[in-house]
């Protein structure tokens, strides 16, 4: 898996702080921005986040690229509605040389299970290539590809949605693959906007666990 932060709103923390100050000021935006020192930005954002007034965080966005992730992960990622997604098409992209499938550790660490897994996926590859050779359109040949098939995703979320995303997908009880991606994303955005994301992560980082069945392992101690 490879996760890369491609683009993000310029000076994201100052942008959010300016939006917050504008709500309670009669001054113009230029004057507001001039008066926003680093200390004031930090104070404003800490107050906004701690009070739950997160709407101003929607003014900044972050765009990511993920490669070597499965279609199973894609199905989970696109459940997050407030986001934009561009995904490598199985309809137009032909995998003439076959695919390198994603393998869960639980299967890879079980030799018998892994052998059966490889046997099945090799058969999928062979049948897929057979279909292409028989001039079956790629959009039809793809029907036999499993959730383990890899894909590439370009996606964008605003800071408010990212905080929500991290609260769910960085949780110890999240599915392993999307949790790995979410933690990588959180590490990336923290470097660009440390105040906005200072307490981002699962609910147990800020308050008690919201899951019906807790993992019993506080995320704060476990780390990334």
- The catalytic residues are 169
Residues with Cβ within 8 Å of 203's Cβ and at least 6 positions away in sequence, in order, are 167, 171, 209, 210
Q: How far apart (Å, rounded) are the C-alpha atoms in residues 175 and 158? A: 23
Element spanning 69, H or E: strand 61-70
38-51 vs 12-22: helix crossing angle, rounded to 10: 70
Give the burial string for 160-187 (b: 16+ CB within 10 Å, else e).
bbbbebbbbbbbbebeebbbbbbbbbbe
How far is CA 181 from each of CA 18, 35, 142, rounded to the nearest angstrom?
31, 37, 25
């Amino acid at each position: 898996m490879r996760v890369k932060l491609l683009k993000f709103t310029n000076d994201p923390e100052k942008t959010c702080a300016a939006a917050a100050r504008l709500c309670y000021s009669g001054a113009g935006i230029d004057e507001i921005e001039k008066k926003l020192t680093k200390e004031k930005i930090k104070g404003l954002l800490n107050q906004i986040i701690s009070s739950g007034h997160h709407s101003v965080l929607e003014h900044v966005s972050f765009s990511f690229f993920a490669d070597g992730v499965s279609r199973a992960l894609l199905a989970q990622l696109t459940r997050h509605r407030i986001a934009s997604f561009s995904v490598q098409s199985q309809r137009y992209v032909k995998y003439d040389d076959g695919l390198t499938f994603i393998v869960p550790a639980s299967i890879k660490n079980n030799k018998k299970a892994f052998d059966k897994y490889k046997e099945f996926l090799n058969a999928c590859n062979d049948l897929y290539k057979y279909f292409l050779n028989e001039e079956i359109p790629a959009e039809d040949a793809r029907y036999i590809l499993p959730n383990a098939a890899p894909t590439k995703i370009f996606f964008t979320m605003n800071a408010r949605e990212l905080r929500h995303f991290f609260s769910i997908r960085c949780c110890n009880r999240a599915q392993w693959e999307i949790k790995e991606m979410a933690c990588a994303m959180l590490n990336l955005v923290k470097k660009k906007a440390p105040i906005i994301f200072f307490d981002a992560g699962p609910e147990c980082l800020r308050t008690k666990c919201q899951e019906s069945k807790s993992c019993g392992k506080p995320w704060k101690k476990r780390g990334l």
